[in-house]
Amino acid sequence: MSANGTPVIRLEGVTKVFFTDEVETHALAGVHLDIRNGEFVSIAGPSGCGKSTLLSILGLLDSPSGGSYILNGKPAQNLNLAERARIRNREIGFIFQSFNLIGDLSVFENVELPLTYRGMGAAERKKRVQEALERVGMAHRMRHFPSQLSGGQQQRVAVARAIVGQPLILLADEPTGNLDSVNGEAVMSLLQELHRNGATICMVTHDPRFARHADRTIRLFDGHVVEEEEAGRAERDLVESGFVAEHGDRQRGTV
Protein backbone atom coordinates (compact mmCIF):
# COMPACT_ATOMS: atom_id res chain seq x y z
CA MET A 1 0.00 0.00 0.00
CA SER A 2 1.58 3.25 -1.05
CA ALA A 3 1.79 6.50 0.77
CA ASN A 4 -0.78 9.08 -0.22
CA GLY A 5 -2.95 11.93 1.05
CA THR A 6 -1.97 14.91 3.23
CA PRO A 7 0.87 14.64 5.73
CA VAL A 8 -0.38 13.85 9.20
CA ILE A 9 3.00 14.75 10.54
CA ARG A 10 5.50 17.23 9.24
CA LEU A 11 8.85 17.83 10.94
CA GLU A 12 11.06 20.63 9.66
CA GLY A 13 14.59 20.94 10.97
CA VAL A 14 13.71 19.48 14.33
CA THR A 15 16.58 19.39 16.82
CA LYS A 16 16.78 18.01 20.31
CA VAL A 17 19.59 18.74 22.70
CA PHE A 18 19.94 17.18 26.14
CA PHE A 19 22.10 18.83 28.74
CA THR A 20 23.52 16.55 31.35
CA ASP A 21 26.47 17.26 33.57
CA GLU A 22 27.83 19.90 31.22
CA VAL A 23 27.61 17.49 28.32
CA GLU A 24 25.39 18.46 25.43
CA THR A 25 23.85 15.54 23.66
CA HIS A 26 22.48 16.33 20.21
CA ALA A 27 19.97 13.54 20.05
CA LEU A 28 18.34 15.04 16.95
CA ALA A 29 20.19 17.39 14.65
CA GLY A 30 17.76 18.81 12.12
CA VAL A 31 15.29 16.15 11.19
CA HIS A 32 12.90 16.62 8.24
CA LEU A 33 10.11 14.14 8.05
CA ASP A 34 6.66 13.85 6.49
CA ILE A 35 4.29 11.06 7.41
CA ARG A 36 1.13 10.90 5.35
CA ASN A 37 -2.21 9.59 6.31
CA GLY A 38 -2.37 5.82 6.15
CA GLU A 39 1.38 5.34 5.88
CA PHE A 40 3.38 2.69 7.75
CA VAL A 41 6.79 4.16 8.44
CA SER A 42 9.59 2.38 10.22
CA ILE A 43 12.54 4.11 11.80
CA ALA A 44 15.85 2.31 11.99
CA GLY A 45 19.33 3.17 13.08
CA PRO A 46 22.01 2.21 15.56
CA SER A 47 21.51 2.42 19.28
CA GLY A 48 21.62 5.94 20.61
CA CYS A 49 21.01 7.57 17.25
CA GLY A 50 17.86 9.30 18.46
CA LYS A 51 15.02 7.00 17.43
CA SER A 52 13.21 7.03 20.76
CA THR A 53 13.79 10.74 21.06
CA LEU A 54 12.20 11.30 17.70
CA LEU A 55 9.24 9.15 18.62
CA SER A 56 8.66 10.91 21.91
CA ILE A 57 8.67 14.25 20.13
CA LEU A 58 6.18 12.93 17.63
CA GLY A 59 4.09 11.69 20.57
CA LEU A 60 4.27 15.05 22.37
CA LEU A 61 5.93 13.42 25.35
CA ASP A 62 8.83 15.72 24.77
CA SER A 63 9.28 18.95 22.90
CA PRO A 64 11.94 19.72 20.34
CA SER A 65 14.73 22.19 21.08
CA GLY A 66 14.33 23.70 17.63
CA GLY A 67 12.53 23.36 14.32
CA SER A 68 8.84 22.99 13.76
CA TYR A 69 6.40 20.18 14.21
CA ILE A 70 3.08 20.28 12.40
CA LEU A 71 0.60 17.68 13.53
CA ASN A 72 -2.51 17.28 11.40
CA GLY A 73 -1.96 20.72 9.89
CA LYS A 74 -1.48 22.51 13.22
CA PRO A 75 1.78 23.63 14.79
CA ALA A 76 2.40 21.44 17.82
CA GLN A 77 5.42 22.91 19.55
CA ASN A 78 3.75 25.74 21.45
CA LEU A 79 0.87 23.86 22.96
CA ASN A 80 0.28 24.11 26.67
CA LEU A 81 0.33 21.11 28.98
CA ALA A 82 -3.37 20.44 28.89
CA GLU A 83 -3.58 20.67 25.09
CA ARG A 84 -0.64 18.30 24.75
CA ALA A 85 -2.33 15.86 27.09
CA ARG A 86 -5.51 16.15 25.07
CA ILE A 87 -3.70 15.41 21.83
CA ARG A 88 -1.81 12.49 23.33
CA ASN A 89 -5.12 11.17 24.47
CA ARG A 90 -7.10 11.59 21.22
CA GLU A 91 -4.67 11.68 18.33
CA ILE A 92 -1.86 9.41 19.38
CA GLY A 93 -1.62 5.76 20.36
CA PHE A 94 1.54 4.54 22.05
CA ILE A 95 2.99 1.04 21.99
CA PHE A 96 6.12 0.56 24.08
CA GLN A 97 8.85 -2.01 23.96
CA SER A 98 8.20 -2.92 27.59
CA PHE A 99 4.40 -3.08 27.20
CA ASN A 100 3.88 -0.65 30.09
CA LEU A 101 0.61 -2.03 31.25
CA ILE A 102 -0.45 -0.83 34.69
CA GLY A 103 -0.13 -3.74 37.06
CA ASP A 104 -2.88 -2.68 39.41
CA LEU A 105 -5.44 -2.48 36.64
CA SER A 106 -7.10 -5.37 34.85
CA VAL A 107 -6.77 -5.86 31.12
CA PHE A 108 -10.13 -4.18 30.63
CA GLU A 109 -9.22 -1.22 32.82
CA ASN A 110 -5.87 -0.79 31.09
CA VAL A 111 -7.51 -0.57 27.70
CA GLU A 112 -10.24 1.64 29.07
CA LEU A 113 -7.80 4.20 30.48
CA PRO A 114 -7.47 6.54 27.44
CA LEU A 115 -11.25 6.65 27.13
CA THR A 116 -11.61 7.41 30.83
CA TYR A 117 -9.29 10.38 30.47
CA ARG A 118 -11.44 11.50 27.57
CA GLY A 119 -14.45 11.61 29.87
CA MET A 120 -16.42 9.11 27.80
CA GLY A 121 -19.54 7.46 29.23
CA ALA A 122 -19.23 3.98 30.71
CA ALA A 123 -21.44 2.17 28.23
CA GLU A 124 -19.63 3.63 25.25
CA ARG A 125 -16.29 2.82 26.87
CA LYS A 126 -17.27 -0.76 27.42
CA LYS A 127 -18.32 -1.20 23.85
CA ARG A 128 -15.12 0.27 22.46
CA VAL A 129 -12.86 -1.64 24.82
CA GLN A 130 -14.55 -4.85 23.86
CA GLU A 131 -14.12 -4.08 20.17
CA ALA A 132 -10.46 -3.24 20.61
CA LEU A 133 -9.77 -6.36 22.63
CA GLU A 134 -11.54 -8.46 20.05
CA ARG A 135 -9.39 -6.98 17.31
CA VAL A 136 -6.24 -8.10 19.12
CA GLY A 137 -7.79 -11.40 20.13
CA MET A 138 -7.65 -10.75 23.87
CA ALA A 139 -11.33 -10.32 24.68
CA HIS A 140 -11.36 -13.57 26.64
CA ARG A 141 -8.72 -12.22 29.04
CA MET A 142 -10.55 -9.04 29.97
CA ARG A 143 -10.64 -9.73 33.71
CA HIS A 144 -7.02 -10.84 33.97
CA PHE A 145 -4.23 -8.77 35.37
CA PRO A 146 -1.10 -8.08 33.32
CA SER A 147 1.06 -10.28 35.55
CA GLN A 148 -1.16 -13.20 34.58
CA LEU A 149 -0.41 -12.79 30.88
CA SER A 150 2.51 -13.80 28.70
CA GLY A 151 4.66 -11.12 27.12
CA GLY A 152 3.02 -11.51 23.72
CA GLN A 153 -0.41 -11.27 25.26
CA GLN A 154 0.59 -8.19 27.22
CA GLN A 155 1.78 -6.50 24.08
CA ARG A 156 -1.46 -7.32 22.31
CA VAL A 157 -3.33 -5.70 25.18
CA ALA A 158 -1.02 -2.70 24.83
CA VAL A 159 -1.92 -2.53 21.14
CA ALA A 160 -5.59 -2.64 22.03
CA ARG A 161 -5.02 0.21 24.46
CA ALA A 162 -3.25 2.18 21.72
CA ILE A 163 -6.02 1.78 19.18
CA VAL A 164 -9.06 1.96 21.42
CA GLY A 165 -9.27 5.73 21.12
CA GLN A 166 -9.02 5.59 17.29
CA PRO A 167 -5.99 7.83 17.17
CA LEU A 168 -4.64 9.64 14.16
CA ILE A 169 -1.35 7.81 14.39
CA LEU A 170 0.15 4.86 16.23
CA LEU A 171 3.64 5.31 17.60
CA ALA A 172 5.46 2.08 18.42
CA ASP A 173 8.95 2.00 19.93
CA GLU A 174 10.41 -1.43 19.31
CA PRO A 175 7.12 -3.18 19.97
CA THR A 176 8.70 -6.57 19.46
CA GLY A 177 11.91 -5.89 21.34
CA ASN A 178 10.92 -7.86 24.41
CA LEU A 179 9.26 -10.72 22.54
CA ASP A 180 10.49 -13.93 21.04
CA SER A 181 10.20 -14.28 17.28
CA VAL A 182 6.88 -16.12 17.30
CA ASN A 183 5.21 -13.54 19.53
CA GLY A 184 6.99 -10.80 17.66
CA GLU A 185 5.56 -11.99 14.39
CA ALA A 186 2.09 -12.12 15.90
CA VAL A 187 2.27 -8.51 17.07
CA MET A 188 3.71 -7.41 13.74
CA SER A 189 0.94 -9.03 11.78
CA LEU A 190 -1.51 -7.34 14.10
CA LEU A 191 0.05 -3.97 13.23
CA GLN A 192 -0.02 -4.83 9.56
CA GLU A 193 -3.65 -5.69 9.75
CA LEU A 194 -4.35 -2.38 11.43
CA HIS A 195 -2.39 -0.68 8.69
CA ARG A 196 -4.40 -2.45 6.03
CA ASN A 197 -7.53 -1.10 7.68
CA GLY A 198 -6.19 2.42 7.32
CA ALA A 199 -4.11 3.11 10.44
CA THR A 200 -1.12 5.43 10.21
CA ILE A 201 1.83 3.82 11.98
CA CYS A 202 5.27 5.00 12.88
CA MET A 203 7.41 2.25 14.34
CA VAL A 204 10.96 2.08 15.60
CA THR A 205 12.60 -1.28 15.09
CA HIS A 206 16.00 -2.79 14.88
CA ASP A 207 14.81 -5.94 13.29
CA PRO A 208 15.06 -5.86 9.45
CA ARG A 209 12.49 -8.65 9.27
CA PHE A 210 9.93 -6.37 10.78
CA ALA A 211 11.11 -3.25 9.04
CA ARG A 212 10.15 -4.75 5.73
CA HIS A 213 6.50 -4.70 6.72
CA ALA A 214 6.64 -0.94 6.46
CA ASP A 215 5.92 1.17 3.39
CA ARG A 216 8.97 3.25 4.06
CA THR A 217 12.01 3.04 6.30
CA ILE A 218 13.76 6.07 7.65
CA ARG A 219 17.31 5.54 8.75
CA LEU A 220 18.71 7.77 11.50
CA PHE A 221 22.35 8.24 12.22
CA ASP A 222 23.77 10.64 14.80
CA GLY A 223 20.49 12.50 14.95
CA HIS A 224 20.20 12.93 11.17
CA VAL A 225 17.94 11.24 8.69
CA VAL A 226 20.50 9.63 6.46
CA GLU A 227 18.25 7.59 4.22
CA GLU A 228 14.66 7.14 3.31
CA GLU A 229 13.66 4.14 1.28
CA GLU A 230 10.63 2.33 0.05
CA ALA A 231 9.55 -1.01 1.36
CA GLY A 232 11.81 -4.01 0.89
CA ARG A 233 15.16 -2.25 0.57
CA ALA A 234 15.72 -1.52 4.18
CA GLU A 235 16.53 -5.03 5.16
CA ARG A 236 19.19 -5.53 2.56
CA ASP A 237 20.83 -2.18 3.19
CA LEU A 238 20.94 -2.60 6.89
CA VAL A 239 22.70 -5.89 6.62
CA GLU A 240 25.14 -4.49 4.09
CA SER A 241 25.94 -1.40 6.04
CA GLY A 242 26.76 -3.47 9.11
CA PHE A 243 24.38 -1.57 11.38
CA VAL A 244 22.62 -4.71 12.34
CA ALA A 245 25.80 -6.26 13.61
CA GLU A 246 26.75 -3.08 15.39
CA HIS A 247 23.45 -2.65 17.09
CA GLY A 248 23.55 -2.24 20.81
CA ASP A 249 27.18 -1.41 21.45
CA ARG A 250 27.62 2.05 20.12
CA GLN A 251 26.54 5.31 21.56
CA ARG A 252 26.49 8.05 19.00
CA GLY A 253 25.49 11.60 18.76
CA THR A 254 27.40 12.77 21.74
CA VAL A 255 29.49 15.85 21.28
Partner 1 sequence: MIQDLRQAIRGLVRSPGFASAAVATLALGIGANTAIFSIVRSVLLRPLPFADPGALVMLRETHPRTGPVGINLTPANFESVRAAARSFESLECWDLASLNLTGRGEPVRLRAARVSGGLFGLLGVPPARGRFFRDGDAGVAVITHGLWSRVFDADPGIVGRSITLDAKPYTVAAVMPRGFRFPIQPDSPEIWVPLNVTALSSGEMRDARVLKVIGRLRPAPGSGEARAELAGLAARLREARPDDNAGLGLLAIPLRERVVGDARPALLLLLGGVGAVMLIACANVASLLLARGVGRRREMATRTALGASRPRLIRQLVTESLALWMLGGVFASVIAVWGVRVFVSIAPPDIPRLEEIRLGAGVLGISLLSSLVTGLLFGVIPAIQMSRSRIQGPLQDSARGGTSDRTGGRLRSWLVVSEMALACLLVVGTGLLTRSFLRLRASDPGFDAAGVLTLEVALPDSRYATGESIQAFFADARERISAIPGVRAVGGSTHFPYRNRWRNPVTAEGREPASAAQAPLATISPVTPGYFEAMGIPLRGGRLFTSRDDAGTLPAALLDETAARQFFPGQNAVGKRVRLGSGGSDPAWMTVVGVVGTIRENPEARSFPEIYLPFRQLAPRLVPVLGRTMFFAVRSGGDPLGLTGSIRGTIRSIDPQQPIAAVALLEDLRADSRAERRFSISLISVFGLSAILLAAIGLYGLVSYSVAQRTREIGIRSALGALRADIVRLVLRQGLLLGLAGAAAGILASYLVTRFLSRLLFEISPTDPITFAGGSGIVLSIALLATYLPARRAARLDPMSALRHE
Ligand X SMILES: Nc1ncnc2c1ncn2[C@@H]1O[C@H](COP(=O)(O)OP(=O)(O)OP(=O)(O)O)[C@@H](O)[C@H]1O
Number of residues that make up the chain: 255
Stretch that binds partner 1, among 102-110, 129-137, 189-197, 221-229 (CB under 8 A): 102-110
- In angstroms, give the least distance from the CB of 220 to ligand X: 7
For partner 1, the closer CB: 90 or 212:
90
Residue list 18-47, contact with ligand X (CB under 6 A): 18, 20, 25, 27, 45, 47
Nearest CA-CA partner of 234 in 206, 253, 254, 255: 206
Residue whose CB is less far from Mg ion, 52 or 200: 52
| By CB under 5 A, residue 176 contacts Mg ion | no
Residues 55-94 that bind partner 1 (CB under 8 A): 56, 59, 61-62, 81-82, 85-90, 94
Q: What is the largest CA-CA distance in the chain?
A: 53
- Our finding on whether 154 is near partner 1 (CB under 8 A) is yes
The CA radius of gyration of the chain, in Å to the nearest whole number, is 18
Quote the CA–CA distance of 144 and 142 in Å, as a whole number.
6
Give the burial string for 13-52 (b: 16+ CB within 10 Å, else e).
ebbbeeeeeeeebbbbbebebbbbbbbbbbbbbbebbbbb
Using CB under 5 A, pick the residue from 25, 52, 110, 183 that binds Mg ion: 52
C-beta closer to ligand X: residue 136 or 211: 211
